[in-house]
Structure 1
Amino acid sequence: MNKWLIVILMLGSGWVGWYLATHWPESEQQDVTADVLAVVGDSVITRDDFIRQMSHRGGNRPGQYHELKQKKFLLDFMINQQVMFDDAVAKGFHEDESVQKIYRKATVDKYLEEELNKKLQALVVTDREIKQHFNNNKTVYEKPARKRAAIIAKIIPADVTAEEKQQIKDELEAIRNQVNELDGKTKHFGELALTHSDDRSSRYQGGVIGWFVENPKRSYKWDRTVIEALFSLPEPGDVSPVLETDEGLFLVRLVAAEQVEEKTLTQVSSGIRQQLLKTKQDAMKKQFITQLIEGADININQQMLADIDPLNPAEKADDIKPPALPVDNGGTP
C-alpha cells in the first residue's frame, strides 16, 4: 500500500476519534452536584433525601449526626438500600404478587390521606350543633331512677295442695312481721333470708338480688309481679305483701333507691362533639366512595360470579349456628 495513503488514513481515523469523543452524547449517569449527594447507577440520592432520613432516624435528638462518621454510616445504608432496590427491580421482584399487594395498599393509603383525610380533618362540630343535639336527646343523658331489691322466695311444687300453699303463705306473713324486729340499719332481709329463702343465689346476701330500672322494655330474671311490687314501695326498708307468681311465693323489700340524675350540657358536650363528628365523617366517607363508584366504568359478569364454586363444602343442617342473642340495648353481645 502507498505510504501516503497510510498517512492519510491515520490522520483521518484520528480526526474521527476526536470528533466522536467531543460530539457523542454523554452517558445518562447523573453527576454529583449541589443538590445530588450521591449517584448510584442511574439513581440519585439528593440532599433532601438524606435530610429526610436523618429526621426519621433520630436526627432531631441533640447530638445526632454532628459527626461526619454518623453521616457516612447513614449514607452507606441509603446506598446499600438503593443498590439492592435497583437489583431487585432489574430481576423483576417488583412485579411479584405479594409486592404488588403491598404497593397497592400503600398507594390507596396515600390516596386516602391526600384526597379524603384532609377533608375529614376540616370537618367541625359547632357549639350550636352540640346544644341542639343535647336539647333533642336529654333523656339519653339522664341516669334513670333505679331501685335495689331483696327477696325471700318460696318455691311451690307443682303437686302442692291448697292447704299446703296456704301454710306457706302464713309462714311468709309471719316472716314479714319479723322484719320489724331487724336492726334499723338493715334494709334487706338479713338472717331471715338465710333461714327461710329458697333462692340460693341471694339467701347469703340478705336476699339482695341487685338494682332494677323501671322500664317495660327491660326484661329480668324475676317475674314481672316481683319487679312491679318493688317499684311500688316508696321508702327503703318497706316490704311488699306476699306475692304469688308461677314460680312461687315471694316477699320483696326495697333496700335502696336512686332518683333520676340529670347531666348538664357541660358534662356531656365533649362526648356529643365526638359523636357528631364521627357521624359527619362517616357521611363524608360514604359520599366519597359513592362518587368514586358512580364515576367509574364498572361492568360485572354476574353469571360468572354466580358460577364460581365455593372453596369449602356446604354446611350441614346441624352445623348452622343460631343468631346471636340480643342484649338490652338492641345490639349483640
Structure 2
Amino acid sequence: MNIQPILLGALVLMLAACSKPEPVAEYPYQQGDAALKPVATVSGDVITRAEVDHALAFYSSNPFASSQEGKNNILNEMVEDQVFYKKAIENGFDKSPEFVINQRKLLAHEYKKYLQQKVGQASVITDYDIGRFYQDNIGQYTKPGMYRIAIYFRRANQEKPQYTLKQIADSVQYLESGLGFGKYALTSNHLKTNNRGGKLPWLTAESNVAGIPKTVIQTGESLEIGNVSDVIKTDAGHYLVRLMEKRDSQVTPLDAVKPVIREALLKKKKETQMQTYLQQAKDAYDIVIYEDNLTSTDASDKSHSFGPPGFPVK
C-alpha cells in the first residue's frame, strides 16, 4: 500500500484548516423575559419594562421618580419621544447624516462597553504572569542608591582667602558628617548653599545640579562617609566635596506591588484582546474605501450641523 498520497492529502487538509481565520468570539446581548414585557405601545411599537427601568435608574437620585406618578411621567415622556421618533422616520430624518452618525456611535459605544466587560470577565492573570513581569522589569521596582554631599566652592580669582582649601579640608574632618562644611561654608562662593553648610539635596548617580559640574557630583559618590575630596579644579574655580550620608538601592518586594502589576497586566490583556477582536471583525467584513468620493467631501456644506454629533439632554 502506497501511503505517500494519503500523507500528502492529510497535509493539504491540515494546511487548509490552518489557513482559515479564527472565528470572531461573539457576545450577544441578553435580557430576561421580564425585561421584555411591554408597558406601552405606540401603533405596535413596544416600550418595554427594561426601557423604563433604565430611565428610572437615570433618575434614581430623585425620590419622586420611583413613585407611581413619577413612573407615569417618565413613561409619558417616552411615549411622546416615540411619537416624535415615528414622525421623524416618516419624514426621512433617519437619513440625516447627524442621526446616522449618532446612531452608529451610540450603538458602537454600547457594544464596546459591553464587550470590554465580557472580555474582562474572561481575562485571567496568574501569579506566574505577575512574577515573570516583576523579574523582567525589576528596575521599575528598584529605588536607586542615593547619597548626600556638601560642597565648598572658591572662585579662581579670589585673593587672600581666610583659610586655604587644605585647612578647610583638614578642619571639617572633625565635624560630624551631617554638618557638611559647617561654619567654614560661610566663606564659600556658592551662594545657594554657603549658609547651610554647603549641603545639597539627596542625589543619585544620574542627578544634575544647575551650576555644579558633573565631575563634582560624581566625586562625592565615590567618597567614604565623612571624608573630603581632593581639590577639584574647574574653569570657574576650585571645589571641595564631602560625603554626608549614603543609602543603598532598595528593591520593593513583589507582594507590595502585586495588585498594581495585576491591574496593569489585566488592562494590557484586555486592550490586546479588544484589538484582536476588532481586527478579526474587520477581516470578516468587506470594507471598501471610495477615495474619489472622500476627496470631494466638503466641510463647508451649510446644510449640515456645525457642531459635533451629540444627543439632546434635558
Q: Quickly name the TM-score band, shorter chain normalised.
A: 0.5 to 0.7
In structure 2, the partner of 1:249 is 238
Cα 1:37–1:180 change in 2 (3 A) is: closer
The whole-number CA distance in structure 1 between the counterparts of 2:240 and 2:276 is 58
Shift of 1:103: 1.7
Instruction: Find out whether 1:211 has 2:202 as its counterpart.
Output: yes
Shift of 1:247: 4.0
How does the TM-score come out when normalised to structure 2? 0.68
Shift of 1:125: 0.8
The whole-number CA distance in structure 2 between the counterparts of 1:90 and 1:308 is 28
Instruction: Find out whether 1:297 has 2:289 as its counterpart.
Output: no
Shift of 1:105: 1.3
Pick the structure with greater CA Rg: 1
In structure 2, the partner of 1:65 is 66
The whole-number CA distance in structure 1 between the counterparts of 2:293 and 2:40 is 53
The whole-number CA distance in structure 1 between the counterparts of 2:96 and 2:293 is 27
Instruction: Find out whether 1:172 has 2:165 as its counterpart.
Output: yes
1:116-155 deviation line (CA, Å, top 9, x unaligned):
5422431111012212333344343221211012211234
Matched residue type, 1:84: F
Contact 1:120/1:284, CA 8 A, preserved across alignment: no
Gaps of at least 5 residues in structure 1 are: 1-33, 312-333
Cα 1:76–1:127 change in 2 (3 A) is: same
Cα 1:307–1:74 change in 2 (3 A) is: closer
In structure 1, the partner of 2:184 is 192
Shift of 1:270: 1.3
Instruction: Find out whether 1:238 has 2:239 as its counterpart.
Output: no
Instruction: Find out whether 1:153 has 2:153 as its counterpart.
Output: yes
The whole-number CA distance in structure 2 between the counterparts of 1:110 and 1:202 is 60
The whole-number CA distance in structure 2 between the counterparts of 1:299 and 1:84 is 35
Cα 1:285–1:65 change in 2 (3 A) is: closer
Give 1:1-333 correspondences, 5 Å limit: 35-58=37-60, 65-66=66-67, 68-156=68-156, 171-180=164-173, 182=175, 184=176, 186-193=178-185, 195-214=186-205, 221=210, 222-235=212-225, 237-299=226-288
Regions of 4+ moved over 6 Å: 61-64, 301-309
SS at match of 2:170: helix
Contact 1:151/1:252, CA 8 A, preserved across alignment: yes
Shift of 1:63: 8.4
Contact 2:124/2:266, CA 8 A, preserved across alignment: yes
Matched residue type, 1:130: I
The whole-number CA distance in structure 2 between the counterparts of 1:286 and 1:46 is 34
Shift of 1:48: 4.2
Shift of 1:220: 5.4
Identity rate, percent: 28
Matched residue type, 2:77: F
Cα 1:72–1:250 change in 2 (3 A) is: same
The whole-number CA distance in structure 2 between the counterparts of 1:196 and 1:185 is 19
Q: How many pairs were matched up?
A: 263
How does the TM-score come out when normalised to structure 1? 0.65
> CA RMSD of the aligned region, Å?
3.8
Matched residue type, 1:208: K
Cα 1:94–1:187 change in 2 (3 A) is: farther
* Structure showing greater relative contact order (alpha-carbon pairs closer than 8 Å, 6 or more residues apart): 2
SS at match of 1:201: coil
Gaps of at least 5 residues in structure 2 are: 1-35, 301-314
Cα 1:220–1:299 change in 2 (3 A) is: farther
Cα 1:150–1:53 change in 2 (3 A) is: same
